[in-house]
């Protein structure tokens, strides 16, 4: 097993009203629960089942992920720059573990 590493690519500065791109990636096996180990035992499901982006504590985009999302889930999405503040990215794994990153955005 390895530790999932979350990464995001977000601009540091945006004009007010501008739509900017966010690229979010987390290294994760996304074990579907459909596979069996060499002894024939089912390998339990362990996926990232939720991703959310908060902008100054308001959820502005979120995703429910199912088993058919590829390993190392990559999500590219678009937000509108409304005010300077903190962007928070949260990944939730089966079993309750979460991974998070924050990013400071300046809107001028």
Partner 1 sequence: MVEKTKTASFTRRNVLAAAAAAAGAGFAGRGPVPPVDAGDSDDDVAIVKQLTGKIPAKSDRIHLAMPRSFPNGYTVPLSLDIDSPMTEADHVRHVRVFAPRNPLIEVARFHFVPRRSEPRVSTRIRLAEPQYVLAAAEMNDGALLMTKTWVEVATNGCA
Contact 15, 81 (CB under 8 A): yes
- Residue closer to partner 1 by CB (options 27, 32) is 32
How far does the chain reach from its first CA to its final CA, in angstroms? 43
Query: What distances in angstroms separate CA 64 from CA 60, 69, 75, 82, 91, one per listed residue?
Result: 14, 10, 11, 25, 10
Among 13, 15, 42, 59, binds partner 1 (CB under 8 A): 59
Asked if 8 is part of the footprint of partner 1 (rule: CB under 8 A), the reply reads: no
Among 14, 48, 69, 105, binds partner 1 (CB under 8 A): 69
Residues that bind partner 1 (CB under 8 A): 19, 32-35, 44-45, 49, 55, 58-71, 73-80, 82, 94-95
């Amino acid at each position: 097993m390895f530790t999932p590493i979350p990464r995001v690519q977000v601009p540091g500065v945006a004009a007010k009203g501008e739509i900017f791109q966010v690229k979010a990636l987390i290294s994760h096996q996304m074990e579907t629960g459909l596979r069996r180990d060499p002894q024939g035992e089912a390998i339990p499901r362990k996926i990232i089942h939720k991703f959310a982006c908060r902008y100054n504590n308001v959820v502005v985009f979120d995703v429910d992920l199912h088993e058919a999302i590829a390993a190392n889930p990559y999500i590219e999405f678009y937000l509108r720059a409304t005010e300077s503040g903190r962007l928070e990215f949260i990944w939730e794994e089966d079993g309750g573990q979460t991974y998070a990153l924050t990013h400071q955005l300046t809107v001028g």
